[in-house]
A and B are shown apart, each in its own frame.
Chain A
Amino acid sequence: MSGLAVDHLTLARGGRPVLDSVSAVFSPGRVTAVLGPNGAGKSTLLGCLAGLLAPDAGQVLVGARPRQTLGMRELARQIGLLPQGGDVHWDVDVATLVGLGRYPHRARWGETQQDRAAVARAMAATDVTRFATRPMAALSGGERARVLLARVLAGEPQWLLADEPLANLDPAHQLDTLACLRDVARGGAGVIVVLHDLNHAIQVADEILLLRDGRTVAQGAPAEVLTPERIAETYGVAGQIGTTPGGVPFIVTMPMAHHA
């Protein structure tokens, strides 16, 4: 398995470029955080990677093959998307919901031994096995988020794309989810996650892709990418970088004026 890459990806909507010649390479076994202000093109980039959006120019390369040469089903087997919002339109039980993630691998009739094993592994990895028979409507926000992540993992994708998976979670569940993403990368899959919180990004990411106005500002190790200058240039806020006594890096942001 080799990398996932975008090459001069360009996409315009309503005459405004949402992605403007973005090139980036993602590596398996690593967590890449995609950062940038609102409207930077983060979700659009994920949409292109997952095959939901067709770029106007440039291409997505999956293991050196252009995306279009892979069938929809093959692409779906390789790339799993955890979309923003996490709709669940029918109140099904947890095991059924996680089982939906096997769709790209489905056999004509019924589920196979492999399907059952993958669902069980995904539920164990996200620690939701004990709610297997509970209806989705009976779960808390944090439990629900973990079940939705288990759904994507059940498809055993080589690439996990997560669009703001921490939205609406309390701090403990945010850290849980980040730990799950790290585990997925440790298992060998590539993880690409859109985040808003810079602190989450430096905690979880091996690499950061910083976007602004549809263009790449920088890609690299967190400490290299997230400098006070870049934070100011990209977000228009002042950022101070520090380290806890325990050695955990953190970033405090504040309005520009205070800094000056």
Chain B
Amino acid sequence: MNRSLAINIGLVAAIAAAMLLSLIAGKVWIPLDAWVHADPRWPIIAELRLPRTVLAAMVGAGLGLSGAAMQGYLRNPLADPGLFGVSSGAALGAVISLYFGYAAAPWLLPMFALTGAAITMALLAVLVGRSGSIVVFTLAGVILSSVAGSMTALAISLAPTPFATSQIVTWLMGALTDRSWDDVHLALPLLALGCVLLGLTGRTLDALTLGESAARSMGVDPRRLQLLIVVGVALCVGASVATAGIIGFVGLIVPHLVRPLVGNRPSAVMLPSALAGALLLLLADSLVRAIPTVSELRLGIAMSMLGGPFFLILLMRMRRRLA
């Protein structure tokens, strides 16, 4: 208990440091002595870096918590919030808005993405029905994400102009470039509500450690649990994709990073996963800004590049344990 608390406090401190770094780092390094209103570099901090930093922390926390909840719910350490189709649905919504060239109005794309996420969530709820079954849930998620993925591919191949194609492809890679306070205002309430709903599932996910029969015999209502998970993950992932595009691997990696520190109990993994998700995305986003490339490295690509080797290490460790 005390150990968990110490780790959470340590993570909060690390997040504070990473936020500071995120405000300083970038194409233009802004040392602390420039942090005064009169300095010409002040608007960079207040209007560009601060919303971006806040958004990175929020999105990272939402994805990390969603990952921990999904892995606990499916009792599978390889589960990812992307697995159940909401991120693909949100991406499809955004891609449709780019396809028709609606991106001129900056608020249209996130709205389309949120609509895509909501439709996918509704379809998921319809497909799963009242069964509360985890197998049906997983299958329905795989179906929805592959359908949305194929529609996205269709949109890319039929895009009216090469410009639209490049816009879609670039957007799909996920980034926090040029985000404003509007994005923060849009995502914050959705992410907050999603996190609260997922937080309510902690004890029930613990009970699910014993399998479905034992959990139900202890009074777990599988339909209530499924509803909380579906709506909670959909809010977190939908808001994340709407404001940052698809950023993979955060939800998948982060719970693995915190388990050695806080143990395997699903509820104990949740809060540190949210915090570590925020930390990871803050660091990764500072890194992509600091690396001197011609155009900024996309955050989604950076995360995928981290994710591959991470899974290789995981695989090697598993093999050693099995040998």
Contacts and interface: CB of A to CB of B under 8 A. Distances in A.
Contact of A100 (B207, B216, B264): B207
Nearest to B218: A103
A94 interface: no
A92 B218 contact: no
Contacts of B203: 103, 106
B221 interface: yes
A3 interface: no
A82 B213 CA distance: 9
Contacts of A82: 214
A79 B203 CA distance: 20
A85 B211 contact: yes
B265 interface: yes
Given A83-B211, A85-B211, A93 B263 contact: yes
A81 interface: yes
Interface in B157-194: none
A100 B219 contact: no
A91 B263 CA distance: 8
B217 interface: yes
Contacts of A50: 217
Interface residues of B, number: 20
B195 to A, nearest CB: 18
Interface in A42-97: 47, 50-52, 72-73, 75-77, 79-83, 85, 87-93, 96-97
A106 B202 CA distance: 12
Contact of A76 (B75, B211, B218): B218
B265 A72 contact: no
A101 B214 CA distance: 9
B106 to A, nearest CB: 42
A50 B207 CA distance: 16
A83 B264 contact: no
Interface string B200-212: 0001001111110
Contacts of A148: 210
Contacts of B54: none
Interface in B233-280: 263-266
Contacts of B266: 90
Nearest to B211: A87
A52 B210 contact: no
8 contacts: A82-B214, A83-B211, A88-B210, A89-B210, A90-B75, A100-B206, A103-B203, A104-B219
Given A89-B209, A90-B209, A100-B206, 13 more contacts: A52-B216, A52-B217, A72-B219, A83-B214, A87-B210, A90-B264, A90-B265, A90-B266, A92-B265, A100-B209, A103-B207, A103-B218, A103-B220
Q: Which 4 A-B pairs have the closest CB atoms?
A: A76-B219, A87-B211, A81-B217, A89-B75
